[in-house]
């Protein structure tokens, strides 16, 4: 078990290194000069050269990478040219907002895809099944950025049901920052009104992320549940006098969870990318928006950091998933030993 | 029916759940980007000036309605004597942290600006020495006589010499202690900067001025437009023209119209790369270009430029210059003269601005009419300007706004003189270099106007630039708000100390 | 205690209704072991499931099933659930598939008690362990903590039986409880069923196509062919002197079970006809060595033959009327 985790961590570290190398050199082949941006318009050539030297941008690429990698090992993600602060500091600041959106979206994704699958699977081929399929297909068919803008247009602009672009009502005082997770901070502050406000703000961005993933998620969950329905233990459970609901929640769901987990792990990658995109659409102050704005001015370090953090998240998620399989299904303990 | 009840009920329920605690007298401004820095010596983008302009003061301000007129600010009197400028300072002014303001602050700020060489330091590049003979007097010596110095100082913010002595660059990057109308309160990265009104300010505020200002970062233009329209934001920096024109037609909104753009867009032609190195060829492109198409795109707002300097700029020669009009026959003749009929040219243009993209396609269509092929490639700004500077592109597209209220030489230096950052096509003309160098030293206003006219004509005659349009700027102001004025010397501007609520 | 009257189970398919169980009637007395035999696809399981109120989705159940005097056909599921598992215990063929792989054996047995409110929490678990002991599982506490894949096939089947009898049901429906087991285990499980029957005074409805099993436990036997009852009667007389040609063929094939499969095939050539294409007259006539023109035209009805009843125009045993 420990050996398995150790191997996986080593493997994860390797992947991270690879991502670091690739993103670093990719960012360096872009023929643009961040020093010129940093110096500002109208700056003299000397100023630009001086800034280039200050940031080591005049060094040969391999040397630059050595310096970057050395820093990376010590937890130094470099410096952002745009915000003029250490990237690690910026990431620490923006990460909670992203994580909050990610976790809320993820929870919504799980709940929605499972609920819809359960609805659909009641009568396969029935009207509800069709309706669920149509709804989820629509969500997937519409590109995320478009969907985000459409939701915003309808629910903010037209109906005024949901607020726009922020995490909290702008003119109000947000609860003191403790965890950086606004929803949690609202609860810590003992302010349910603020909590509801924060939920309203996260609703549209999260929905945008989730709607796109719902079709695949629901279809997979539906298929998994449908397969479970045919299994003999379902008949046994019914034979004991369990209601269909008890059979579903007490027996089928847990069995269906393994295939659902597999799909979910894959979906999580998309989830992550959509969260980043959605942050840009909704001005959600997370690491995605941070990296995007940096990217626009050729500020490389935040972009590389984003790639590293996402990869790290993905590696951790996969490890978690592998550790979860045997918990869900006692038959697969062999994998980890 | 059920749905209608629900949709009526839903917002009410939400409203009850999240009972808003609206702070009184808060102005929310949606800006386009987050500042990189709020250091007055480094700030160089309009979204950075949003903070610095309101937190710091300058020695002088200029009248937005007439940029030729300078108004007292931290200096109450000023005069030029050859290479020496003397400023008498306002007394009794204090910084937000309570320390008093005097000549040492001015000296330290200007010295720091020159030393760092960043931000707007180009505006003070001619200064050789700053002296503070007594707390209420500053004497600035310039390398050559410079009539424009006071005007250019209307863009230079003054920080405290104690801060400069006690804090490093990083501190200035995210802290601001000025003498200005608003105090810097906090900066929530990625979200907003909060300012509070400085009730001790030496100047006067209008009735209904806001006590609290929130500058939000809203990168997407659509979001800013919807946010202003929906009342989430009171005003916004740059709302796309289509949206602005639509919103101002709605009840509860009006438009503030004005001039601040010199050209938008301007197409720069590379004078060092074939075929645009040929002046007749460039002339053919200028004549072939369809100016009416851009004007229509701008919903008919604005004028077609006749040269680089707009008519409303102090001392502009524009009124006496001939119109530039589409002339396909003339273009064909010029092309024949160049001997480059059927040539192909490449345009790497910035991909960020719709108008840039549109003007590139107009150029393409115009060139096709005379048998010239234009290949368009879109790239990020820095990449695009690098491409033309490295002779990989025949043209570049840019928006032009001025950088100084009354000094055109700074604009010329940046765009048409050797080494200018925006001189993308590497244009060079010795006569122009000499004229621009000589202008600040000329004391006679009429003679300076003559020189400016000559300089403008040289650029026109070189056919280096196609000035596609000079649109009017439209800003959306809700009826509940007043006091916004367009700054003729800045692409976008907001003076929070002039903004106020309207009953 | 169980009376089945004119039971039909049908499915609506693409080409009309397919009748899988076609109007069968029988009754089971308290305490008896009643066996339904027949080839695969003859409708045995459907009959058993219909009694338990678990006919598959899309099946239409007609007729009457009186359990303890109450007709359970058309009973709402909520009411039927109080009977199922509590009054009627069910054992299925495949003990591995019949157990949920992600719950422990003990949990699954305890659940039967919990759902009918007979025990809660720890007590339910303790009773699950004693139930496992009752079905002769060695080290029941350990097995209770095990997952189904961790114990042997025989043990799993015992566990399933323990689950079925957990609530002391009156009726035990066992659908091919021994089919998947090897010979020695099969014998043990049959022994167990027999013992439990005595201990708990169970009425047992045993479904099988294994004649060997029948001989050991049956009090009465019902033979099904293509959804109909072809013969029913006391076990001893039916096995000694089958009246219906199909029954005799089944018995012959059972006796030749040791022989190579080809031999068995020659004894009962062909198979159950497809639901959509039932032969006219006697459904068995295409395969019957005694078939006549009458058999092809006229559907035989159940009538008293020998010790029981058979549906055949030309029974192998004299009818009481014939004997007269
Ligand atoms: N859900 C269903 N839909 C359609 N037809 C079905 C369904 N379930 C069973 N049948 C049909 O009903 C008939 C009887 O099935 P049943 O399972 O009762 O047979 P059986 O006698 O138990 O056979 P075996 O010995 O193979 O278990 C079969 O022909 C089968 O094809
Ligand atoms: S009725 Fe005829 S065909 Fe049917 S079993 Fe009897 S003899 Fe055979
Ligand atoms: Mg069966």
- How do beta strands B212-217 and B26-31 pair? parallel
Q: Which residue range is the domain that position C243 belongs to?
A: 219-324
| A240, A251, A254 member nearest C85 (Cβ) | A240
Residues B230-251 have a mean pLDDT of 91
Is C115 part of a structural domain of the chain? no
Q: Does any domain span residue C5?
A: no
In angstroms, the Cα distances linking A82 to A44, A103, B39, B474 are: 19, 28, 13, 29
Average pLDDT for B99-117 = 94
Q: Enumerate the domain spans of chain A.
A: 93-284
Yes or no, beta carbons of A157 and B229 under 8 Å apart: yes
Under 8 Å between Cβ of B347 and B393: yes
Residue B491 has pLDDT above 80, yes or no: no
Residue A224 has pLDDT above 60, yes or no: yes
A145: which 2 tokens? 């950025």
Whether residue B2 is predicted with pLDDT greater than 70 in this model: the reply is no
Q: Taking 70 as the threshold, does the pLDDT of residue C297 lie above it?
A: yes
Burial of B143 (0-12, 13-18, 19+ CB in 10 A): exposed
Give yes or no for residue B16 having a pLDDT over 50: no
Q: Are B470 and B263 in contact (CB under 8 A)?
A: yes
Nearest CB to A84; choose among B173, B382, B414: B173
Task: Number of A to C CB contacts under 8 A, please give it.
Answer: 75
Check C84 against A238: CB less than 8 A apart. yes
Contact criterion met (CB < 8 Å) for A255 and C101: yes
Do β-strands C171-175 and C88-91 pair in parallel, antiparallel, or remain unpaired? parallel
Contacts with C86 from chain A: Cβ below 8 Å: 241
Confidence of residue A42 (pLDDT cuts 50, 70, 90): low
Q: At CB < 8 Å, which residues of chain C contact A?
A: 52, 54, 77-78, 81-86, 89-90, 92, 94, 97-103, 108, 111-112, 115-116, 147, 149, 160, 163-164
Higher pLDDT among residues B5 and C32, named by residue: C32
Of chain B, the percentage scoring pLDDT greater than 70 comes to 95
Give the pLDDT of residue A21. 84
* Closest residue CA from atom 9 of ligand 1: C46
Mean pLDDT over the full length of chain B: 90
Q: Is C112 in the pocket of ligand 1 (CB under 6 A)?
A: no
* Smallest CA–CA distance from C100 into chain A, residue: A233
Contact yes or no, B with A (3+ CB pairs under 8 Å): yes
Residue in C84, C100, C162 to test binding to A, most A beta-carbons within 10 Å: C100
Q: What is the mean pLDDT of residues C247-254?
A: 81
By Cβ distance, the residue of A238, A241, A329 closest to C102 is A329
Which pLDDT value is given to residue B12?
46
| pLDDT higher than 90, residue B452 | yes
Q: Which residue of B has its CA nearest to A84?
A: B36
Does residue B55 carry a pLDDT above 90? Answer: yes
State pLDDT tens for residues B293-351. Answer: 999 988 888 899 999 999 988 899 999 999 999 999 999 999 999 999 899 999 998 87
Tokens 């042997």 belong to which residue? C152
Whether the per-residue pLDDT at B20 is higher than 70: the answer is no
Instruction: Give per-residue pLDDT as tens, C213-229.
Output: 788 788 999 999 989 99
CB-based contact, A245 to chain C, within 8 Å: no
Predicted confidence (pLDDT) at residue A237 exceeds the cutoff of 80: yes
pLDDT at C180 over 80: no
pLDDT of residue B17: 43
C74 pLDDT more than 50:
yes
Q: Is C12 exposed, middle or buried (0-12, 13-18, 19+ CB in 10 A)?
A: exposed
Nearest chain C alpha carbon to A231:
C97
Distance C225 CA to ligand 3 centre (A): 13
Q: Which residue has the higher pLDDT, C210 or B210?
A: B210
Residue B15: the pLDDT is 45
User: Subunits that touch chain B (at least 3 Cβ pairs < 8 angstroms)?
Assistant: A
Instruction: Identify the three-state secondary structure at position B23.
Output: coil
Tell me what percent of the residues of chain A surpass a pLDDT of 90. 5
Residue C227 domain-assigned? yes
In this prediction, residue C323 carries a pLDDT of 45
Give C277 Cα–ligand 1 centroid separation in angstroms: 15
Residue C225 inside a domain? The answer is yes
Q: Which residues contact A79 (CB under 8 A, 6 or more apart)?
A: A55, A85, A86, A87, A301
pLDDT value at position B144? Answer: 92
CATH fold match for the domains B39-175 and B263-467: no
- The 10s digit of each residue's pLDDT in B24-38 is 589 999 998 888 899
What confidence score (pLDDT) does residue B308 get?
94
- Ligand 2 atom at minimal distance to the Cα of residue C314: 7
Give pLDDT tens digits for B96-105: 999 999 999 9
Task: Determine the pLDDT at residue C36.
Answer: 93
Of C74 and A115, the structure prediction assigns the larger pLDDT to A115
Measured by CA distance, the residue closest to atom 6 of ligand 2 is C312
Q: Is C38 in the pocket of ligand 1 (CB under 6 A)?
A: yes
Ligand 2 centroid to Cα of residue C285, in Å, is: 5
Mean predicted confidence (pLDDT) in C158-179? 88
Q: Distance (Å, rounded) from C-alpha A215 to C-alpha C103?
A: 30
Most confidently modeled range among A62-76, A176-190, B138-152 = B138-152
**Span from the CA of C304 to the centroid of ligand 2 (angstroms):** 15
* pLDDT higher than threshold 80 for residue C211: no
Chains A and C touch (3+ CB pairs under 8 A): yes
Higher pLDDT, B127 or C278: B127
Spatial distance between the Cα atoms of C18 and C244, rounded to a whole number of angstroms: 25
CA-based nearest distance C104→chain A, Å? 9
- To the nearest 10°, the Cα dihedral for B316, B318, B319, B324? 180
Residue B8 has pLDDT above 60, yes or no: no
Q: Mean pLDDT across the stretch A19-23?
A: 84
Residues 6+ apart with CB under 8 A from B243: B221, B222, B225, B229
Percentage with pLDDT > 70 across chain C: 92
B368 to chain A, closest Cα gap in Å = 30
pLDDT band at B19 (very low <50, low <70, confident <90, very high): very low
pTM: 0.77
Query: Of A43-47, C35-39, C175-179, which gets the smallest average pLDDT?
Result: A43-47
The chains found to touch C (3+ Cβ pairs under 8 angstroms) are: A
Determine the CATH number of domain B39-175: 3.90.76.10
pLDDT at B255: 92
Span C107-160, pLDDT tens digits = 999 999 999 988 888 899 999 999 999 888 899 999 999 998 898 888 888 899
* Contact criterion met (CB below 8 Å) for B465 and B483: no
pLDDT at C280 over 50: yes
Stretch C77-83: mean pLDDT, rounded?
A: 87
Decide which of B19 and C301 is more confident.
C301
Q: What is the pLDDT of residue B219?
A: 83
* B434-442: long-range contacts, CB 8 A cutoff, minimum separation 24: B436/B409, B436/B412, B439/B408, B439/B409, B440/B126, B440/B144, B440/B145, B440/B146, B440/B147, B440/B148, B440/B149, B440/B407, B440/B409, B441/B144, B441/B145, B441/B146, B441/B147, B442/B147
Is residue C306 included in any domain, yes or no?
Answer: yes
Pocket test for ligand 2, best of C249, C287, C295 (most atoms within 8 A of CB): C295
The separation between CA C278 and the C-alpha centre of its own chain, rounded to angstroms, equals 23
Q: Which atom of ligand 2 is nearest to the CA of C245?
A: 5
Q: Please identify, by atom number, the ligand 2 atom nearest to the C-alpha of residue C230.
A: 5
> Which residues lie at CB < 5 A from ion ligand 3?
C 45
Report residue A179 as tokens: 């965890």
3-state SS, residue C30: coil
Q: What is the pLDDT of residue B23?
A: 45
The dihedral over CA atoms of A194, A200, A205, A209, expressed in degrees to the nearest 10, equals 110
Give the mean pLDDT of chain C: 85
As a residue count, chain A comes to 337
CA distance A121 to chain C (A): 13
The stretch B234-258 carries a mean pLDDT of 91
pLDDT (average), residues C243-272? 66
Q: Give the whole-angstrom CA distance, residue C165 versus residue C197.
A: 10
**CB distance C143 to ligand 1 below 6 Å:** no
pLDDT band at A37 (very low <50, low <70, confident <90, very high): low
Nearest ligand atom owner, CA of C276: 1
pLDDT of residue B354: 81
> DSSP string spanning B75-140?
EEEEEEETTEEEEEEPSS-B-TTSPBP-HHHHHHHHHHHHHHT-TTGGGGTTEEEEEEEETTEEEE
* CATH code at A93-284: 1.10.3720
CB count in 10 Å sphere of residue C312:
25
Query: What residue's CA is closest to ligand 1, atom 20?
Result: C41
Contacts 24+ apart (CB under 8 A), A258-262: A258/A325, A258/A328, A258/A329, A258/A332, A259/A220, A259/A223, A259/A224, A259/A227, A260/A114, A260/A220, A260/A221, A260/A224, A261/A321, A261/A324, A261/A325, A261/A328, A262/A321
Per-residue model confidence (pLDDT) at position B416: 94
Which of B190-204, B458-472, C214-228 bottoms out in mean pLDDT, i.e. has the lowest?
A: C214-228
In a domain, C90, yes or no: no
Using an 8 Å Cβ cutoff, are C32 and C206 in contact? no
Cα separation of the two ends of chain C: 33
- Write down the pLDDT at residue C261: 46
Report chain A residues whose CB lies below 8 A from the CB of C59: none
Domain ranges of chain B: 39-175, 263-467
Mutating which of C12, C89, C96, C98 best tests the A interface, going by the most A Cβ atoms within 10 A? Answer: C98
Q: Please check whether the domain covering B263-467 is classified as CATH 3.40.50.720.
A: no
Mutate to test the pocket of ligand 2, among C242, C288, C297, C319 (most ligand atoms within 8 A of CB): C288
Q: Do C54 and A240 touch (CB under 8 A)?
A: no
Task: Please indicate whether residue C171 or residue C16 has the higher confidence score (pLDDT).
Answer: C171
C243 ligand 2 Cβ < 6 A: no
Q: Name the band, by pLDDT with cuts 50, 70 and 90, for residue B400.
A: confident
Other C-beta atoms lying within 10 Å of the C-beta of residue C210: 17
* Domain tally, chain C: 1
CA B384, CA B391: separation in Å to the nearest integer? 11
């Amino acid at each position: 078990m420990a050996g398995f985790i150790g191997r996986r961590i080593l493997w994860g570290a390797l992947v991270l290194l690879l991502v670091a190398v690739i993103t670093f050199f990719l960012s360096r082949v872009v023929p643009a000069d961040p020093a010129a941006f940093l110096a500002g318009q109208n700056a003299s050539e000397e100023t630009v050269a001086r800034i280039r030297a200050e940031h080591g941008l005049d060094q040969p690429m391999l040397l630059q990478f050595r310096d970057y990698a050395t820093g990376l090992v010590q937890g130094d993600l470099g410096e952002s040219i745009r915000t003029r602060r250490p990237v690690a500091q910026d990431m620490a600041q923006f990460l909670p907002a992203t994580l909050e959106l990610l976790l809320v979206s993820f929870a919504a994704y799980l709940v929605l895809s499972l609920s819809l699958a359960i609805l659909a699977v009641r009568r396969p081929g029935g009207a509800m099944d069709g309706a669920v399929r149509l709804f989820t297909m629509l969500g997937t068919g519409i590109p995320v950025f478009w969907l985000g803008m459409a939701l915003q247009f309808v629910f903010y602009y037209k109906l005024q049901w949901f607020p726009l672009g922020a995490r909290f009502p702008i003119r109000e005082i947000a609860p003191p920052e403790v965890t950086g997770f606004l929803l949690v901070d609202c609860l810590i502050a003992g302010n349910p009104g603020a909590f509801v406000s924060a939920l309203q703000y996260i609703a549209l961005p999260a929905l945008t992320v989730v709607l796109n993933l719902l079709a695949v998620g629901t279809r997979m969950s539906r298929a998994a549940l449908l397969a479970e329905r045919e299994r003999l233990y379902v008949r046994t459970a019914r034979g004991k006098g369990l209601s269909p609901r008890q059979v579903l929640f007490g027996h089928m769901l847990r069995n269906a969870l393994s295939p659902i987990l597999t799909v979910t792990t894959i979906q999580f990658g998309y989830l992550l990318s959509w969260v980043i995109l959605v942050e840009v659409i909704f001005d959600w102050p997370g690491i995605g928006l941070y990296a995007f704005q940096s990217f626009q001015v050729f500020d490389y370090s935040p972009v590389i950091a984003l790639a590293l953090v996402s990869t790290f998240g993905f590696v951790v998620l996969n490890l978690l998933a592998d550790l979860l399989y045997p918990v869900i299904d006692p038959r697969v303990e062999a994998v980890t030993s | 029916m059920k749905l209608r009840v629900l949709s009526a009920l839903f917002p009410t329920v939400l409203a009850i759940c999240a009972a808003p605690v609206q702070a009184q007298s808060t102005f929310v401004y949606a800006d386009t980007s987050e500042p990189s820095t709020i250091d007055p010596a480094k700030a160089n983008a309009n979204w950075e000036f949003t903070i610095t302009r309101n937190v710091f003061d300058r020695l002088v301000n200029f009248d937005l309605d007439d940029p030729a007129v300078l108004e007292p600010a931290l200096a109450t009197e000023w005069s030029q004597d050859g290479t020496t400028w003397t400023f008498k300072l306002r007394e009794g002014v204090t910084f937000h942290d309570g320390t008093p303001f005097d000549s040492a602050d001015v000296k330290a700020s200007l010295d720091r600006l020159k030393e760092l060489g960043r931000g707007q330091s180009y505006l003070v590049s001619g200064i050789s020495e700053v002296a503070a003979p007594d707390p209420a007097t500053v004497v600035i010596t310039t390398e050559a006589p410079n009539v424009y110095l006071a005007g250019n100082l209307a863009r230079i913010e003054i920080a405290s010499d104690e801060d400069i002595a006690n804090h490093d660059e990083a501190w200035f990057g995210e802290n601001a202690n000025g003498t200005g109308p608003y105090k810097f309160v906090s900066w929530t990265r990625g979200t907003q900067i909060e300012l509070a009104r400085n009730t001790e300010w030496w100047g006067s505020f209008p009735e209904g001025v806001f006590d609290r200002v929130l500058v939000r970062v809203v990168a997407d233009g659509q979001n800013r437009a919807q946010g202003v329209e929906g009342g989430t934001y009171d005003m916004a920096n740059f709302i796309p023209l289509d949206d602005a024109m639509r919103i101002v037609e709605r009840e509860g909104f009006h438009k503030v119209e004005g001039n601040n753009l010199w050209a938008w867009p301007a197409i720069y032609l590379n004078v060092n790369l074939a075929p645009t190195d040929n002046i007749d060829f460039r002339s053919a492109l200028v004549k072939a270009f369809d100016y009416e198409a851009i004007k229509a795109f701008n919903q008919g707002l604005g004028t077609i430029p006749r040269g680089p300097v707009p008519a409303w700029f102090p001392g502009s020669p524009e009124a006496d210059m001939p119109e530039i009009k589409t002339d396909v026959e003339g273009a064909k003749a010029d092309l024949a003269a160049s001997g480059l009929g059927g040539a192909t040219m490449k345009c790497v243009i910035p991909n960020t601005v719709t108008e840039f993209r549109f003007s590139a396609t107009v150029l393409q269509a115009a060139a096709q009419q005379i048998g010239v092929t234009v290949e368009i490639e879109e790239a990020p700004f820095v990449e695009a300007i690098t491409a033309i500077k490295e002779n990989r592109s025949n043209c570049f597209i840019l928006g032009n706004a001025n950088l100084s209220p009354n000094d055109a030489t700074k604009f010329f230096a940046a765009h048409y003189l050797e080494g200018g950052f925006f001189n993308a096509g590497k244009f060079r003309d010795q006569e122009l270099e000499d004229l621009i160098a000589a202008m600040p030293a000329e004391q006679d206003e009429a003679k300076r106007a003559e020189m400016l006219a000559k300089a403008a004509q040289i650029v026109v005659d070189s056919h280096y630039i196609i000035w596609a349009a000079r649109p009017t700027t439209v800003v959306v102001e809700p009826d509940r708000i007043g006091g916004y004025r367009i700054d003729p010397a800045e692409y976008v501007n907001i003076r929070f100390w002039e903004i106020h609520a309207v009953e | 205690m169980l009376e089945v009257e004119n039971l039909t189970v049908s499915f609506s398919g693409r080409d009309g209704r397919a009748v899988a169980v076609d109007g069968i009637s029988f009754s089971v007395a308290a305490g008896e072991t009643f066996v339904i035999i027949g080839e695969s696809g003859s409708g045995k399981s459907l009959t058993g499931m219909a009694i338990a109120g678990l006919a598959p989705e899309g099946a239409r159940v007609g007729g009457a099933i009186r359990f303890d005097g109450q007709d359970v056909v058309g009973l709402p599921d909520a009411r039927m659930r109080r009977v199922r598992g509590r009054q009627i215990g069910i054992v299925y063929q495949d003990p591995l598939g019949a157990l949920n792989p992600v719950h422990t054996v003990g949990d699954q047995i305890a659940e039967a008690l919990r759902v009918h409110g007979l025990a809660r929490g720890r007590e339910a678990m303790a009773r699950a362990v004693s139930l496992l002991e009752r079905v002769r599982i060695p080290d029941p506490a350990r097995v209770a903590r095990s997952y189904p894949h961790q114990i042997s096939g025989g043990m799993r089947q015992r566990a399933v039986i323990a689950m079925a009898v957990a609530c002391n049901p009156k009726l035990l429906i066992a659908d091919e409880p021994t089919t998947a087991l090897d010979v020695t285990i099969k014998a043990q499980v049959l022994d167990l069923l027999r013992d439990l029957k005595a201990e708990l005074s169970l009425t047992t409805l045993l479904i099988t196509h294994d004649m060997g099993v029948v001989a050991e436990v049956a009090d009465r036997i019902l033979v099904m062919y293509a959804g109909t009852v072809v013969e029913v009667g006391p076990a001893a007389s039916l096995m000694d002197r089958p009246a219906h040609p199909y029954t005799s063929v089944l018995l012959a094939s059972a006796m030749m079970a040791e022989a190579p499969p080809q031999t068995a095939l020659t004894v009962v050539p062909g198979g159950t006809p497809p639901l959509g294409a039932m032969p006219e007259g006697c459904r068995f006539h295409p395969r019957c060595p005694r078939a006549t023109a009458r058999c092809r035209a006229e559907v035989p009805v159940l009538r008293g033959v020998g010790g029981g009843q058979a549906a055949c125009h030309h029974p192998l045993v004299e009818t009481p009327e014939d004997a007269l």
